[in-house]
Homo-oligomer: A and B are copies of this chain.
Amino acid sequence: MAESYRRIVLASRPHGWPSAENFRLEESSMPVLGEGEVRVRNQYLSLDPYMRGRMNDAKSYALPQMLNETMGGASVGEVVESRSSQFAVGDTVRGMLGWAEYGVSKSEGIAKVDTRHIPLSAYLGVVGMPGMTAWYGYNKIMEPKAGETVVVSAACGAVGSVVGQLARIAGVRVVGIAGGPEKCRYVTEELGFDACVDYKTAADAKSLAGLIAAAAPKGVDAHFENVGGDVLNAVVTLLNPFARVAICGLITDYNMTPGHVPKSAIMNPGMFLVARFKMQGFIISDHLNLWPEGLSALGGLVAAGKLKYQESVAEGLAAAPAAFIGMLKGHNFGKQLVRLY
A contact residues vs B (CB 8 Å cutoff): 53, 59-61, 228, 232, 241-242, 247, 249-250, 253, 261-262, 264-283, 286
Contact = CB atoms under 8 A, between A and B. Distances in A.
Oligomer copy total: 2
Contact of A274 (B61, B241, B264, B276): B61
B273 A250 contact: yes
B266 A273 contact: no
Contact of A267 (B261, B277, B279, B281): B261
Contact of A241 (B61, B247, B262, B272): B61
A280 B277 CA distance: 6
Contacts of A272: 247, 250, 279-281
A264 B273 contact: no
A278 B276 contact: no
A121 to B, nearest CB: 26
A142 to B, nearest CB: 13
Given A61-B241, A241-B61, A273 B281 contact: yes
A276 B283 contact: yes
A61 B273 contact: yes
B264 A265 contact: no
Contacts of A242: 286
A211 to B, nearest CB: 20
A228 B269 contact: yes
12 contacts: A53-B273, A61-B275, A232-B269, A250-B272, A250-B273, A253-B270, A266-B269, A271-B281, A276-B280, A276-B286, A277-B280, A278-B280
A219 to B, nearest CB: 11
A262 B273 contact: no
